[in-house]
Amino acid sequence: MRINEERLKYHWDNSEIALDTSTLLFLRQCHSEYAKELIDIFMFKKDSIWIPQKVKEEFETNNKKDSLTGMSSIKGFQKNLNESITRLKNSIDSERSKLESSGFSLLSEVLFNLNIDRMFIETLQEFSQKGSQLSETNREFIKSGIIGLFYKQIFSNVGEGFSENEIKAIEVEGVDRYEKNIPPGDKDKNKKVNKYGDLIIWKQILKYLPKSKKRSFMFITRDGKSDWFDQNTGMVRTELKQEVKRECPGSEFDIILLEDLIRHGSLCFNKDLSFLLDNLEKDEELVNAIEIKMNSDLRSHIEDELNDELKSYADADYIRLDTIESIDINAISYEDEEEDCMLAEASVSFQCYYDYVIHSDGEDFEFSGSATVNMTLQFNIEVEQGENETNYKTIKVDLGAIDFDNIDVEEASDPREEDEEEVQEPDCDDYEPDEPEQDDDYYEDSGYDDYDPDDDRH
């Protein structure tokens, strides 16, 4: 897998998305039912899709070819199947001859009586019949206008192209890059037509990234060649990542194969709505968004609610909320699950830090404290369903009108508790009182007239 599910979910929620030529053309080549599913999936993100100008140019060049009805690919599969059967027949004939020449005529007769054509004729006939049906279905699908409307909407957001001089400069750079096997496009260096197509698309992406309305960017392709992906790790080529970091600092960028999007996109879109809802509780992006809301829009309201309860812990005049963090979503329940918009009620717990302010003798004294708090959050969830009866659904959490209820302090510290140094009592067994200091006058006053301080007898 070239990208994990969590990373894919992050891009689905936060990234601008670019589609390459092979992805757009594939919608005309694949089975119509699969194409409808892909169209629904892409339309969920129609406002976040951006198309490089070179992709649009390549698409228009190839879009009118008859091969794009899917008939060409089906005929290709049928041709490969026929060739495989012919190779099997030749291989069996070869083995039969070896058996005959080695004196195993009895075994040779077994293979001689094997009729390969008869074994596969029904399969080949069924394959050909269903292939023709699928091709006709695809033609009807293309004529229906569904795919044409999709292309029209997708091409409403196309990037700027390069001037003729810029294209020439890129081609000159491409010669040097391809000689050094620097991706992308270096695997196309022997092509006679559109040799620098991938490189031009890549340059248009790099030019667009600083202008993107989102910080993250995901490029979806069907091209799994090694000029995009490291064939050993399956990850995006390091050279491409480094070039993005160098040319577009601060941008997050990933490339994903279309097949990986479908295979691992269950957290993004699914035919089972309950699956999408159940995974919200584990959605780190949702937790982070809630934390931001609680520290901004809801902050003053939470502070007001906490004031009365937290003041009682230290008989404080008021509290000043510092930070809210360590948020956990314990459970989420839903109302109107069959509607396009449903109300979610989430039970959450969090840690908050604050200052107690105590007024005494005309002065304010501040003490720091912390508390574990439970409360209920309410927010809306928008449910979108595919337009082509594919039953795909996707959800979007709307925190714009988020509210809370049932706030409760589970545990709080006493802010006035201070660590006091322990007084070390002397050990009575080892205790020796200090000798009082006595000067010379003491002895003189005591009648020691011939006192000599240097005399050892004293």
| Mean pLDDT of the chain, nearest integer | 85
Q: How many CA atoms lie less than 13 Å away from 264 in the CB half-sphere? A: 18
Residue 172 has pLDDT above 80, yes or no: yes
In the structure, what pLDDT confidence band is assigned to residue 332 with cuts at 50, 70 and 90? very high
pLDDT for the residue numbered 369: 86
Helix (H/G/I), strand (E/B), else coil: 239 = helix
pLDDT for the residue numbered 441: 52
Phi-psi region of 362 (alpha: psi -120 to 50; beta: other; left: phi over 0): left
Distance between CA atoms of residues 387 and 209, nearest Å:
31
If you average pLDDT over residues 440-448, what whole number do you get? 48
In the structure, what pLDDT confidence band is assigned to residue 314 with cuts at 50, 70 and 90? low
Q: Residue 82's closest CA among 90, 93, 92? A: 90
Encode pLDDT of 279-301 as tens digits: 988 888 899 999 999 999 999 99
441 versus 410: which is more confidently predicted? Answer: 410
Contact 135, 69 (CB under 8 A): yes
Tokens of 67: 């091969």
In the structure, what pLDDT confidence band is assigned to residue 448 with cuts at 50, 70 and 90? very low
Distance between CA atoms of residues 56 and 387, nearest Å:
24
DSSP-derived letter for residue 66 is G
pLDDT for the residue numbered 351: 94
Q: Residue 30's closest CA among 154, 197, 147? A: 147
- Please give the backbone phi and psi of residue 141, each rounded to the nearest 5 degrees, phi first: -65, -45
Contact 36, 295 (CB under 8 A): no
Strand positions, DSSP E, 26-159: 49-50
Distance between CA atoms of residues 435 and 424, nearest Å:
22
Rg (Cα) of the chain, in Å, rounded? 38
Instruction: Return the bridge partners of 329, or none.
Output: 348
pLDDT for the residue numbered 65: 63
Contacts of 229 (CB under 8 A, 6+ apart): 2, 235, 236, 237, 255, 257
* Lowest pLDDT segment from 12-16, 143-147, 362-366, 441-445: 441-445
CA 422 to chain centre: 53
pLDDT for the residue numbered 446: 46
Encode pLDDT of 70-123 as tens digits: 556 677 777 888 888 888 888 988 988 998 888 888 888 888 877 777 778 788
Residue 144 has pLDDT above 50, yes or no: yes
pTM of the model: 0.75
